[in-house]
Amino acid sequence: GLYEKLLAQVTQNKYEAVNLLHKWFELDTNTRPAVYRLAPIHVHLPSYIDMSPEGSEKRREAEGIWWGQCFEPMQLALRKAAIKLLEAGEVSEQVADMFVRSVTEEEMMKGICEAQQSSASKFWGNEGAAARRSALVIRNLVGIKEGSWEDPAK
């Protein structure tokens, strides 16, 4: 599957997140086909869901660990692996984009595409609401510069 290909790239290129990926992604054999799923954050960082007043400091610490020491390294490793697989012709650009594009960018692109499609309805006199609400968002994503991948570790 795709995760196995990505993990093989991460391992082959000795990206530091390989141990994190082994720790955080679990094979779910209850589905057909079996798939790897990200474990709930609280499985490895129980304080992450502690909403008690006395647990707030530990929760903030767990949030920092998750975002800085877990999520970002795994995201960057999977992004680099997806780009390597794309360059090797093992995955399509659409598959690689799942690891390069942010959820926000995907949502914006969907909204813009829907707006463009609805603008065709102007011919019929029925301009869609999506066309009136289109927006442009510019984001600075870690490791992405001017549409190309750059390793932030370099």
Rounded distance, CA 39 to CA 45, Å?
11
7 within 8 A of 66, measured Cβ to Cβ? no
Rounded distance, CA 44 to CA 40, Å?
8
Cross-strand pairs, 148: 145
pLDDT digit string (tens) for the chain, length 154 residues: 999 999 999 999 888 899 999 999 999 999 999 999 999 999 999 999 999 999 999 999 999 999 999 999 999 999 999 999 999 999 999 999 999 888 888 888 788 777 666 655 554 444 544 444 445 555 555 665 555 555 555 5
Global pTM exceeds 0.85? no
42 within 8 A of 49, measured Cβ to Cβ? yes
Rounded distance, CA 28 to CA 127, Å?
45
Distances (CA, A) of 91 to 6, 58, 66, 84: 10, 40, 28, 9
48 within 8 A of 116, measured Cβ to Cβ? no
- The CA dihedral of 131, 135, 139, 145, to the nearest 10 degrees, is 60
